[in-house]
Amino acid sequence: MDSWGFSIAKTRTIDIDSVDFKVLARLTDKVPSAKRCIMCGACAATCSAANFVDFSFRKTHLLFHRGQFSNISEELDKCMLCGKCKLVCLRGVNTRAIIYNLRIILNDMNYKRIAL
Amino acid sequence: MKKKNVIVIGGGPAGIEIAQILSNYSCNVTLFEKEPQVGGQIKRIDKLFPDFIVQDEMMQKLISNLEKTDIQIHTDTEIKDIEQIDNIWHLKTNKEEAFTADAVVLATGFKTFDPKYKEELGYGIYPGVITTLEFEDMLKAGKIQTSAGEEPRRIAFLNCVGSRDEKVGNHYCSRVCCINAVKQSIETKELLPNAEVFCFYMDLRMSGQFYEELYRKSQEKHGVNYIRGRISEASSTFDHRIQIKSEDTLAGLPLKMTVDLLVLMIGVEASEGTTNLSAKAGILGEYGFAKSLSLHLKDNLTKKEGLFLAGACKRPSTLREVIADARAAAFEVVNYLKMEING
Amino acid sequence: MPDYFLQLSKDVRFTEGLKACMNCGICTAICPAAEFYKYDPRRICDAVQSKDNERIEQLLKSDTIWYCGQCMSCKTRCPRGNAPALIISVLRKISQETGLFAESEKGRQQLAIKRTIAENIVKTGYCVHLDHVNPKLHPEQGPVWEWYFNNAQDVTDRLGANYNKDGPGALRKISKENLDEIERIFEVTGATLLHKKIERFSKLKAEELKLSFDETGTNNEYFFHVYLKNSDNHNI
Amino acid sequence: MMEKKYWKDYQREIADDDYFYHRSCIRQTFFPGSEALFLKILKNELGKNVTDDPNLHTCTGIGYHSDVVPFDTTMTIVARLLSQMNKSELKNFVPSCVTTFGLLSEVLDTWKHFPEELEKTRKFLKEATGREFKIPENVAHPSDIIYKNRKVLKGKMKYQLVNKETGNPLKVVEHIGCHYAKIFPENTTGGAEFPQVLAGMIEAWEGKVIDYPERRHCCGFGFRQYLIMANRGYSVANTKKKFESMQPYEPDFVVANCPGCAMFMDRWQYTIAEMEGITYDKNKRGIPVLTHEEMTGLLLGYNPWDLGLQVHQVQVEPLLDKIGVVYNPDDKYVGKSGIKLSEPQRPKNI
Instruction: Kindly identify which residue of chain B lies nearest to residue C36, measuring between CA atoms.
Output: B254
Which residues are bridge partners to B308 per DSSP?
Answer: B105, B301
Residue A63 falls inside a structural domain: yes
Asked if the structure places residue D1 within a domain, the reply is no
User: Residue D219's Cα: distance from chain center in Å?
Assistant: 12
Task: CATH number of the domain at C96, please.
Answer: 1.10.1060.10
State which of C106, C132, C159 marks the end of a domain.
C106
In a domain, A43, yes or no: yes
Can you name the residues that pair with B309 across neighbouring β-strands?
Answer: B106
Q: B108 Cβ partners below 8 Å, 6+ apart?
A: B9, B10, B271, B273, B274, B277, B290, B313
CB B91 within 8 A of CB B100: yes
| pLDDT at residue number C235 | 86
Question: Are D164 and D132 within one domain?
Answer: no
User: How many CB pairs (< 8 A) connect B and D?
Assistant: 36
The per-residue pLDDT of chain B, averaged, comes to: 97
**Residues D178, D307 share a domain:** yes
Give the domain CATH number at D109: 1.20.1050.140
Pick the CATH number of B115-268 from 3.40.640.10, 3.50.50.60, 3.30.70.600, 3.40.50.700: 3.50.50.60
Candidates C37, C121, C185; nearest CB to D234: C37
Average pLDDT over residues B90-112: 97
Domain of residue D21, residue span: 16-142
Residue C233 falls within a domain, yes or no?
no
Strand partners, A14: B255
CA distance A13 to D239: 16
Question: Does B216 lie at the interface with A, CB-CB under 8 angstroms?
Answer: yes
Cα C85 to chain center, whole Å? Answer: 13
Q: What is the CATH number of the domain that holds D170?
A: 3.40.50.11810
Interface test with D, best of B119, B170, B233, B266 (most D CBs within 10 A): B119
Instruction: Identify the band that residue A113 occupies on the pLDDT scale cut at 50, 70 and 90.
Output: low
Name which of B237, B238, B236, B233 is nearest B255 in CA terms.
Answer: B233
Q: Where does the pLDDT of residue A88 fall: very low under 50, low under 70, confident under 90, or very high at 90 and above?
A: very high
List of chain B residues whose C-beta atoms are within 8 Å of the C-beta of residue A21: 196
Q: What is the pTM of this model?
A: 0.95
Which of D230, D240, D276 minimises the CB distance to A6? D230
Same domain, C45 and C112: no
- Condensed to tens digits (0 to 9), the pLDDT of residues C120-141 reads 999 999 999 999 999 988 999 9
Q: Please indicate if any CB of chain B lies within 8 Å of the CB of A58.
A: yes
Query: D273 and D306, same structural domain?
Result: yes
Residues B34-54 have a mean pLDDT of: 96
Q: Residue D42 carries which DSSP code?
A: I
Instruction: Determine, yes or no, domain membership for D153.
Output: no
Among the partner residues C35, C139, C236, nearest to A13 by beta-carbon distance: C35
Closest-CA residue to B283 (of B93, B108, B98, B114): B108
> What is the pLDDT confidence band of residue A1, given thresholds at 50, 70 and 90?
very low
Residues D222 and D134 in one domain: no
Looking at residue A88, which CATH number applies to its domain? 1.10.1060.10
pLDDT in tens, D97-120: 999 999 999 999 999 999 999 999
Query: Looking at the partner chain, which of D128, D222, D306 has a beta carbon nearest the beta carbon of C158?
Result: D306
Residues in contact with A2: Cβ distance below 8 Å, sequence separation at least 6, in sequence order: none
Rg (alpha carbons) of chain D, rounded to whole number: 20
pLDDT at residue number A81: 92
Q: Name the residue range of residue A30's domain.
A: 17-108
C-alpha distance from D125 to closest chain C C-alpha (Å): 7
List the Cα angle D38/D318/D334 in 5-degree steps: 60
B167 and C35: CB-CB below 8 Å? no
Which of A3, A5, A12 faces C35 most closely, judged by CB atoms?
A: A12
Q: Where do the structural domains in chain B lie, given as residue ranges?
A: 4-109+271-337, 115-268
Which chain C residues touch A if contact means CB-CB below 8 Å? 34-38, 139-140, 228, 230, 235-236
Task: Band the pLDDT of B1: cuts 50, 70, 90.
Answer: low
Return the beta strands (E) in B47-121 as ranges. 47-48, 53-54, 72-74, 79-85, 88-93, 98-101, 103-106, 110-112
- For residue A32, the chain B residues in CB contact (below 8 A) are 220
Chain C environment of D118 (Cβ under 8 Å): none
Q: Is D348 inside any structural domain?
A: no
Domain co-membership, D202 together with D127: no
Mean per-residue pLDDT for B132-147?
97
User: How far is the C-alpha of D333 from the C-alpha of D344, rounded, in Å?
Assistant: 9
State pLDDT tens for residues C143-169.
Answer: 999 999 999 999 999 999 999 999 999
User: Which helix or strand (DSSP H or E) is residue A65 part of?
Assistant: helix A57-65
Is the CB of residue D10 less than 8 Å away from at least one CB of chain B?
no
In-domain check, residue D202: yes
Residue D113 lies in a domain: yes
pLDDT on residue D4: 65
Residue B229 exposed, middle or buried by CB count within 10 Å (0-12, 13-18, 19+): buried
Asked if residue B50 has a cis previous peptide bond (ω within 30° of 0), the answer is yes
**Do the chains contact at D194 and B237, CB–CB below 8 Å?**
no
Mean of pLDDT values over D131-151: 97
pLDDT band at residue D3 using 50, 70 and 90 as cut-offs: low
Q: What is the pLDDT of residue D11?
A: 85
* Cβ-Cβ contacts under 8 Å, B169 against chain D: 1-4
To the nearest whole angstrom, how far is the Cα of A104 from the nearest Cα of chain B? Answer: 22
Mutate to test the interface with D, among B166, B235, B262, B287 (most CBs of D within 10 A): B235
Residues 278 through 317 of chain B touching chain D, CB cutoff 8 Å:
287-288
Q: Are residues D327 and D297 in the same domain?
A: yes
DSSP D162: B
Torsion of the alpha carbons at D340, D343, D344 and D348, rounded to the nearest 10 = 160
Give domain status of residue C123, yes or no. Answer: yes
* Option in A1, A5, A8 nearest D230 (CB): A5
D87 and D162 share a domain?
no
* Residue length of chain B: 343
- For the segment A59-79, the average pLDDT, to the nearest whole number, is 93
Q: What is the greatest pairwise CA distance in chain B?
A: 74
Q: Which pLDDT score, from 0 to 100, does residue C236 have? A: 79
pLDDT confidence of residue D140: 97
Q: What is the number of structural domains in chain C?
A: 2
Over the range B292-323, which residues count as b (16 or more CB within 10 Å of their CB) and which as e?
beeeeeebbbbeeebbbbbbbbbbbbbbebbb
Q: How many structural domains compose chain A?
A: 1
C-beta atoms of D232 and A6 within 8 A: yes
- By Cβ distance, the residue of B230, B248, B255 closest to C26 is B230
pLDDT at A2 over 90: no
B340 CB contacts (<8 Å, ≥6 apart)? Answer: B25, B26
Which of C106, C132, C154 delimits the end of a domain?
C106
Cβ separation A5–C228 shorter than 8 A: yes
All residue ranges of chain C with pLDDT < 50 are none
* Helix axes C191-208 and C221-228, enclosed angle (nearest 10): 100
Q: How far apart are the first and last CA of chain C?
A: 30
Q: How far apart are CA D285 and CA D273, in angstroms?
A: 9
CB contact under 8 A, A4 and C228: no
| B92/B94 Cα distance (integer angstroms) | 7
List the domain range (segments joined by +) for residue C220. Answer: 108-228
Q: H/E/C letters for each residue in D260-319?
A: HHHHHHHHHHHHHHHHHCCCCCCCCCCCCEEEHHHHHHHHHCCCHHHHCHHHCCCCCHHH
Nearest chain A CA: its distance from B33 CA (Å): 44
Give me the mean pLDDT over the D185-212 stretch.
95
Pair (C21, C78) in one structural domain: yes
Instruction: Evaluate if residue A116 carries a pLDDT over 60.
Output: no
Q: Measured between alpha carbons, how far is D83 from D107 in angstroms, rounded to an integer?
A: 15
Cβ contact, residue pair B223, A28, below 8 Å? yes
- Which residues on A lie below 8 Å from C235 (Cβ)? 9-10, 12
Residue of C nearest to A10 (CA): C36
D249 vs D252: CA distance, rounded Å:
9
Identify the helix (H) or strand (E) that includes residue D253. Answer: strand D253-256
pLDDT per position as a tens digit, B182-232: 999 999 999 999 999 999 999 999 999 999 999 999 999 999 999 999 999
Question: Per the domain annotation, does C43 fall within a domain?
Answer: yes
Last residue of a domain, one of C106, C125, C154: C106
DSSP class of residue C166 equals S
pLDDT of C115 reads: 98
- Report the candidate in D29, D57, D99, D24 with the shortest Cα–Cα distance to residue C184: D57
Chain C residue with minimum CA distance to A71: C236
> Quick one: closest CA in B to D217, which residue?
B233
One domain, residues C161 and C212: yes
Judged by CB atoms closer than 8 Å, whether chains meet at A5 and C139 is answered as yes
Predicted confidence (pLDDT) per residue in D258-298, tens digit:
999 999 999 999 999 999 999 999 999 999 999 999 999 99
Q: How far is A33 from chain C (nearest CA, A)?
A: 27
In chain D, the number of structural domains is 2
Q: Is B118 on the interface with C (CB under 8 A)?
A: no
Residue range B116-143: average pLDDT? Answer: 97
Fold that domain B4-109+271-337 belongs to in CATH: FAD/NAD(P)-binding domain (3.50.50)
Share of chain B above pLDDT 90, in %: 97
Question: Mind listing the pLDDT tens digit for each residue in D294-341?
Answer: 999 999 999 999 999 999 999 999 999 999 999 999 999 999 999 999
The β-bridge relationship of strands B27-32 and B72-74 is parallel
- Interface partners of chain C (CB pairs < 8 Å, 3 or more) are A, B, D
Searching chain D, which residue's CA lies closest to the CA of residue A9?
D233
